[in-house]
Structure 1
Amino acid sequence: MRKSRIAAYVSSLALAVACTVTGAATAQSSSEEAATGYVALGDSYSAGVGAGSYIGSSVDCLRSRRAYPVLWARAHSPSSFSFRACNGARTTDVLRSQLGPLSSRTGLVSITVGGSDAGFADVMTTCVLQGSHACLSAISRAHSYMDSTLPGNLDRLYGAISRKAPAAHVVVLGYPHLYKLKGDCVGGLSETVRSALNRAVNHLNAVTAKRAADHGFTFGDVRDTFSGHEICSGRPWLRSINLLAVTESYHPTATGQSHGYLPVFADAS
């Protein structure tokens, strides 16, 4: 009689353990299966400024139907797609107003950010309007900002992304060189200034890549895909100064989005 009760108890315990393990595995599997949504965050380079075909509801942000996040989503049909990247967004803007769609169901996040923080728009304005000396001084200030302030801003943003979307694979994309050195341009900025601007992009990418790696994110370097297609090349994928649409200046064209950014993001995702 005692053996029978012991056998029944052991059988019940084994069944309970099996159910618990199975339930946990099922819950984990369901969670993993649910994390298939895609959220695109960031600044103008992710919004698609310069690519045209802007979405009517995003007049201020200038989100383009030709931006790499839209092209990727169209090709891969994620379970959900939220396009939050916005022209001029800094790390604080992304943190404050773009993270709403992130959740445990988010499986993929893309982002470009840091260029606006470092003041690249102001740098380019200075370089175009105020000459080489003022331009090089503005670039130097941008370098100082990248070293002193940007890493902490990126840490706060990347940490928030991880907390709100713990299952997500996060791809941080960098920025292309603006100029092909010794290229086809006649006049305009000096070769010294063009080289300094490219070095500033290198520094920004290095700072961003380091912070991304420290948070377990993937960094996508677009400099190689844009190589030979910078401003002053024969077939540029970046817009030069455009007085009729100043905001689009120094941004990727539709081809820059589809041939420069999209392949890097597709490989990294």
Structure 2
Amino acid sequence: MRRSRFAACMSSLLLAVGVALTGATTAQASPQASPQAAATGYVALGDSYSSGVGAGSYLSSSGDCKRSTKAYPYLWATANAPSSFDFTACSGARTGDVLASQLGPLGPNTGLVSITVGGNDAGFADVMSTCVLQSDSSCVSRINTAKAYVDSTLPGQLDKVYSAISAKAPAAHVVVLGYPRFYQLGGTCAGLSQTKRSAINNAADYLNTAIAKRAADHGFTFGDVRPAFTGHELCSGSAWLHSLNLLNVGESYHPKAAGQSGGYLPVFRNAA
């Protein structure tokens, strides 16, 4: 009887030790949290459509970059409290500016990146001034020049930016946002003919197509804001975009606060 009890005790002890060892082995073998899962910082890059030009409420520390507390990156960060938030988007930025001065905060802890860029490279401001101030034929000609740039040069410039983002923040989910169409077609619109409005909208579509293609080829998510802005273009009666503003020319043809919160923010939120 004593021997049986001893054997039973030994069996229980060995079983317990076996379970403990098995558990320890399992714990050691379980994968550690991936860098991507641990990377939760958010970095907002890009041009004036990301900095929030036109939305007002600019951060004094941002100077001429005009970063707004009503811009979609700031609104998203306030609502979601990422582990860190770096807002480097800047008014007037081109692809070269992003490479030169905006990528510093990117790193292994960056889990999310947003960016709008490409419009200034393609000559957005000059296109709009030409179309507003000159003839239909001059407007269309300037847009064709911009399209030629989008075909020949912009893809390579975008590739440089997107590759640099991936190299510096390999765990990041990158959301590339596009640009809205500017005009509602049909009816009358002070100062611009139907020909000009249609050509400007087609140019926006052309640019978005090129940006979306490069984003997809880099494994990034493209956020198309055109559906969100439908019904809120210029000449719609409920515009989320500024028209020509002679008192503050820099805000012309940029989203108002409503365009950031009602247009860009939900698209980014769904893509993030």
Distance 1:106 1:143 in 2: 34
Aligned length: 252
Partner of 1:182: 186
1:197 pairs, out of 188, 200, 218, with 200
1:34 pairs, out of 12, 31, 38, with 38
Deviating more after overlay: 197-206 vs 52-61:
52-61
Determine helix, strand or coil for the equivalent of 1:59.
helix
- Residue 267, structure 1, aligned to residue 270, structure 2: yes
What is the TM-score of this pair, normalised by structure 1? 0.90
Determine helix, strand or coil for the equivalent of 2:179.
coil
2:257 pairs, out of 243, 254, 259, with 254
Partner of 1:206: 209
Over the aligned positions, Cα root-mean-square deviation in angstroms equals 1.9
Distance 2:119 2:246 in 1: 21
* Runs of 4+ in structure 1 over 2 Å off: 18-23, 30-34
Q: Report the alpha carbon displacement of residue 135 of structure 1 after superposing the two structures with TM.
A: 1.3
Q: Report the alpha carbon displacement of residue 126 of structure 1 after superposing the two structures with TM.
A: 1.2
Q: Report the alpha carbon displacement of residue 189 of structure 1 after superposing the two structures with TM.
A: 1.2
Distance 1:151 1:260 in 2: 25
Structure 1 residues 193 and 35: alpha-carbon distance in aligned structure 2, compared to 1, 3 A threshold? same
Partner of 1:235: 238
Report the identity percentage: 67
Q: Report the alpha carbon displacement of residue 58 of structure 1 after superposing the two structures with TM.
A: 1.2
Distance 2:34 2:141 in 1: 54
1:98 pairs, out of 99, 102, 107, with 102
Q: Report the alpha carbon displacement of residue 86 of structure 1 after superposing the two structures with TM.
A: 0.4
Partner of 1:136: 140
Q: Is the 8 A contact 1:184 1:234 kept in 2?
A: no
* 1:44-87 deviation digits (Å, cap 9, x = unpaired): 00000000111101121011110000000000000000001000
2:81 pairs, out of 69, 77, 83, with 77
Aligned-partner residue type, residue 46 of structure 1: S
- Residue 115, structure 1, aligned to residue 123, structure 2: no
Partner of 2:63: 59
Structure 1 residues 184 and 235: alpha-carbon distance in aligned structure 2, compared to 1, 3 A threshold? farther
Q: Is the 8 A contact 2:36 2:172 kept in 1?
A: no
* 1:123-151 deviation digits (Å, cap 9, x = unpaired): 11111222222211110000000000000
Aligned-partner residue type, residue 171 of structure 1: V
Partner of 2:130: 126
Q: Report the alpha carbon displacement of residue 21 of structure 1 after superposing the two structures with TM.
A: 5.8
Deviating more after overlay: 131-140 vs 65-74:
131-140
Determine helix, strand or coil for the equivalent of 1:60.
helix
What is the TM-score of this pair, normalised by structure 2? 0.89
Distance 2:198 2:212 in 1: 21
Aligned-partner residue type, residue 170 of structure 2: P
Determine helix, strand or coil for the equivalent of 2:111.
strand
Which structure would you say has the larger Rg?
2
Structure 1 gaps of 5+ residues are 1-13
Structure 2 gaps of 5+ residues are 1-20
Aligned-partner residue type, residue 242 of structure 1: N
Distance 2:184 2:269 in 1: 25
Partner of 2:221: 218
Q: Is the 8 A contact 1:175 1:223 kept in 2?
A: yes
